[in-house]
Structure 1
């Protein structure tokens, strides 16, 4: 099956399912044709039995009339009529005998004997005048009884055949029901099996694409199934390796360029410090102002380079976690206490709500995540505001909500707020603008823990929610 393509497997599934349903339909048509043929045969036999029974009775009556007329009038014409009626009655009797041999044979022999006795009377000459009437009367009386018996037996036979037809119809109905049910069940099983065989490679491809989007290049991509999905899996694995190489090149470039920039930057800062200390001579007010501008910008540039190195380090550290049991409530309280001076300086209130929840995680990286969220909330919150952390449990996942009362995130920034080096349009008034890597580090570390971080809509302030496996 692995040699077939996705399209060929779909076609095979369609052919098999269609073949099963077609075979069932053909069997149903054959069954209906068989039942229709049995119905026609039964109806024709019933009509034949009824007609021959009636014909036997009519010919017997004609024979009796001809015999009596011959005995009275002694006319050969009536004897010939008797003979002709006898032949027709005998033919009808033979039909009844063939249709119902199990019960009509004895009655037919007796009827033939009585008819022969009457015929011998008609051929006896003068003796017929003395005892002919009595013999003919007894013969035809018995023949009439035999005709009635044959008529009843014919009706019984017709009823039996109708019952047999109904029984066959019921049996074929059950057989057809089993066939239809089996065909539907088999088609459902085939559809389920083929659906599983075809959907499993698609799920693996979807999972592989998700890992590529999350920059998880450490796991090789293997996709089974049909030939074309396996080729696609090989192409995705090649793409994974290529992206891993590009990501490694990017990290090396950032690391090298950052270190290369730090050396001349250190010389610049040292030179500006010497100027401000008036080592090269006394500065005028204008020169001192220029030296201050240089000092401020070199410090800002150094902070940006350090942030760049920090993000590069965080992207690498996210792939190497040191798991241990972490009490999230205790960790949150420690992070809040660690930034106590910052939020007290802005006269903020930081609340931690919820119960103690234990997770398996990297404590240091989770502390960095919570510290970045708190730092952002402190920087954007108005003086006298409140920052609230809430711990809760939803099923098998832990939720950490961080809510502040700041300006919030602009709607146009919501989709890109977790991208590295991206800064939204709403910045804190009077505060130094960040480099846009805090939230990207949060996303890196949370994704490494198989969790998620999202920005929830809120009319005032920002609301970030972290979910981790319990």
Structure 2
């Protein structure tokens, strides 16, 4: 059976608080009772000495006689307190004995003590014992007193009521703690589960395709706040991906529609006899078909590069040689625009796929050539650390707008919204660059300003 998060939180908090307070109550009861019984044992010893001292005071050293009335009074007070005494003089003659004086009261007192100790579950720990003390006055032994009591300690009625009240209070605290822990647990559970439940609700809306929804509440719990930020970021990313998907669909449709419409129009005109099927017109149709093929080829290249099963043929390659190879393949375009291309810095051998890295360099340098005006400059610079090789491709071309920078590595995204293939391409080249670099465990970053140029930085692990 599944329970809600709030219910689980409530029960967990209530259980933790209840166990904590219950444990505190039990330990408090144990240690308080232990200290109290130790105190009683000490007081009991003091009481026996006090009884012996009081009895000694009832002896007249001059007349060699005992005050029997006061001895009786002391004996009865002691009996009521749970001490059965028997007083004898120096010759061993009994002066006063509790059992002889009132046997029924002695039995009643012992029965009450046994009953109280049994109720306290301490009867098995003690028993009635007898203690003999000498009666001394003026440094002279004048007799002895036999004191019978329940040892090592016993509870009188007041002591018993005190412990009973203490246990009642601790039980009351436990019951109150149960109620309080449940209320507090419910409150805390509601407070903690509220942002989680809100996050779940928003996540469901996102899964249903509503990418505009956001969690506006914040939490002072670090993990919950990070969860909220993550969900909002996820919604934002999915929204952008959805927009790019729609743009991808529109771009692909446009890219295919334009050449297909052109070919269809040309062929239809030639079939109906409006145009003569001249070599020039057939060549135009052929160019448009090649254009469609190029689009399909780009899509296939991207699919292949982004496939999880992409296999890199790594080997020791010299990054300078890879740059020279890329520049050689673009030499005609560079010469046509009279661009000043320089390579600076030193590069070393790295473990990489030569063909893939060359493809990355060709794509980036080709873009630099394409967007740099005639007579402009392109710089390819190299730098390295103990673990990484860095390549920068910098131009002084038209640059990229700040609003377009976060998306330029997305498939079919083009900062040039006119979709002019002479300037914008299909928008797949940079997506391929990012996929290949990521497959090598590297990163690619871009810095750019409109009318000032762009700088792409590739970092590859050696």
Q: How high is the TM-score relative to the length of structure 1?
A: 0.50
Aligned residue number for residue 390 of structure 1: 382
Match of 2:119 in 1: none
Which deviates the most, 44-53 or 376-385?
A: 44-53
338, 350, 358: which one pairs with 2:350? 358
Out of 407, 415, 420, the position equivalent to 1:424 is 415
**Which of 57, 63, 68 is the equivalent residue of 1:83?**
68
Secondary structure, aligned partner of 2:453: coil
Q: How does 1:445-460 map to 2 (within 5 A)?
A: 445-447=436-438, 449=440, 451-456=442-447, 460=452
Gap regions ≥5 residues in structure 1? 72-78, 100-107, 121-136, 151-156, 158-201, 210-242, 281-290
**Residue of structure 1 equivalent to 2:314:** 325
Residues 422, 435 of structure 1: 8 Å contact kept: no
Residues 75-224 of structure 1 aligned to structure 2 (within 5 Å): 82-88=67-73, 112-114=88-90, 116=92, 141-143=139-141
CA change 1:299–1:348 in 2 (3 A) is: farther
Higher strand share: 2
User: In the superposition, relative to structure 1, how do residues 401 and 276 fare at CA in structure 2: closer, same or farther (>3 Å)?
Assistant: farther
Whole-angstrom distance in 2 between the partners of 1:408 and 1:444: 22
1:268 to partner: Cα distance: 9.5
Q: Provide the rounded CA distance (Å) in 2 between the counterparts of 1:337 and 1:96.
A: 115
Distance in 2 separating the partners of 1:311 and 1:405: 27
Matched pairs, number: 318
- Looking at structure 1, the residues matched to 342 and 94 of structure 2 have their Cα atoms a distance apart, in angstroms, of 130
Work out whether residues 408 and 461 of structure 1, in 8 Å CA contact, stay in contact via their aligned partners in 2.
Answer: yes
Q: Distance in 1 between matches of 2:2 and 2:136?
A: 89
Higher helix share: 1
Q: Does 1:60 align with 2:56?
A: yes
Cα distance, 1:141 vs structure 2: 4.0
In 2, Cα distance between equivalents of 1:366 and 1:256: 29
| Superposition deviation, residue 35 in structure 1 | 1.1
TM-score for both structures, normalised by structure 2 = 0.51
Counterpart secondary structure, 1:412 = coil
- Note if 1:314 corresponds to 2:305: no
| Residue pair 2:446, 2:456 contacting (<8 A) in 1 also | yes
Q: CA offset at residue 308 of structure 1?
A: 1.6
Partner of 1:50: 46
CA distance in 2, matches of 1:46, 1:445: 87
Equivalent-residue separation in structure 1 for 2:141 and 2:456 (angstroms): 108
Indicate the residue corresponding to 1:27 in structure 2.
23
Deviations 1:94-148 (A, max 9, x none): 899979xxxxxxxx98x7342855969xxxxxxxxxxxxxxxx99874347989x
Contact 1:392 1:398 in 2 (8 A): yes
Instruction: Tell me what 2:425 maps to.
Output: 435
The aligned residue for residue 464 of structure 1 is 456
Which residue, out of 370, 376, 380, partners 2:367? 376
Distance apart, 1:443 and its partner CA: 3.3
Per the alignment, do residues 68 and 39 of structure 1 end up closer, same or farther by CA in structure 2, a change over 3 Å counting? same
Give the match's secondary structure for 1:411: coil
Q: Distance in 2 between matches of 1:367 and 1:442?
A: 10
Whether 2:326 is the aligned partner of 1:335: answer yes
For structure 2, the 5+ residue unaligned runs are: 97-134, 148-152, 154-199, 208-241
